[in-house]
Every structure is written in C-alpha cells, then in structure tokens.
C-alpha cells in the first residue's frame, strides 16, 4: 500500500515527537528538521490534533505535544485516520463510476481485504517502537 505524503509527514511528526514526548514542538522547528513545507506541516498538526494524537498549546513555551503516551498510539490507527479520505483504488471512492468493471468486479473485495490486513499489521506496532534519538532542533 502506498501512503500519501500527508500520512508520511504525520508519521514523521509523531515519531520525532515521541523521542521527547513531554517537550512542545513547533511547526517551524519540525518543518526545518524534516525539510517539509511549514504550511503542509500546519495541516498535518491540525489533523493530528483533531484526532487527539497531539495537544496544542499557545503562547510562550507553546507548540504541540503528544496527547497520548507513545505506547498507546497504534500505527495502523494513525495511517487509517490520515488516509481516510484517500482511496486505495478508484472504485473505493463513494459514488465513483469511472471504472467500467465496477458492476462486475471481483477484485474489490480482495483489495479491501488487503487494505484491512495492512492496517491490522501496522496496529501490531505502537509509536513507541518507532522512536528514534531526540531531535536536534
């Protein structure tokens, strides 16, 4: 399964922050560390906050911190959340009728099972297992 850049950025943010989970990180410092557009990263922060993976703080010493312990964040759940608006294949999109095989397709169930298996496999790992040394930002 190929993940979107948005999901890749989200996973990078979470694994980077998990190295020092109580420390607030700003979008600016993580954008510099990961060489990602600050605007893109702001959207990632917003999405991760909406899903309660991050907690944001304003003001001096502000930024974002993990809202849960790294051991409680399952990678499959993160991927499923961040990829929710993305279809593995076109026929998974609601209301899509561009594929001429859709009415008779026998692959859709197989593809759906593969996606479910991928998420389940990722859920065997928590964010804690993906932590790397503290960021130098």
Is 137 part of a structural domain of the chain?
Answer: no
pLDDT, greater one: 2 or 78:
78
Angstrom distance (rounded) from CA 82 to CA 44:
9
Q: Provide the residue range defining the domain that includes 73.
A: 5-130
- Whichever domain contains 31, its CATH number is 1.10.10.10
Is 21 part of a structural domain of the chain?
Answer: yes
Report whether pLDDT(103) > 80: no
Is 54 part of a structural domain of the chain?
Answer: yes
Read off the pTM: 0.81
C-alpha distance from residue 75 to each of 29, 83, 108, 135 (Å): 23, 12, 24, 20
Is 135 part of a structural domain of the chain?
Answer: no
Is 118 part of a structural domain of the chain?
Answer: yes
Count of the separate structural domains present in the chain:
1
Is 12 part of a structural domain of the chain?
Answer: yes
pLDDT tens by residue, 53-76: 999 988 887 899 999 999 999 999
């Amino acid at each position: 399964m190929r993940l979107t850049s948005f999901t890749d950025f989200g996973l990078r943010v979470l694994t980077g922050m998990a190295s020092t989970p109580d420390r607030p990180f700003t979008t600016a410092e993580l954008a510099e560390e990961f060489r990602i557009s600050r605007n893109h990263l702001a959207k990632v922060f917003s999405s991760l906050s909406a899903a309660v993976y991050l907690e944001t703080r304003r003001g001096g010493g502000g930024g974002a911190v993990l809202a849960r312990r790294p051991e409680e964040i399952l990678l499959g759940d993160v991927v499923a959340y961040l990829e929710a608006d993305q279809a593995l294949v076109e026929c998974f999109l609601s209301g899509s009728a561009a594929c001429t095989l859709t009415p008779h397709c026998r692959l859709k169930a197989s593809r759906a099972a593969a996606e479910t298996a991928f998420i389940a496999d990722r859920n065997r790992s928590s964010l804690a297992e993906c932590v790397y040394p503290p960021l130098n930002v």
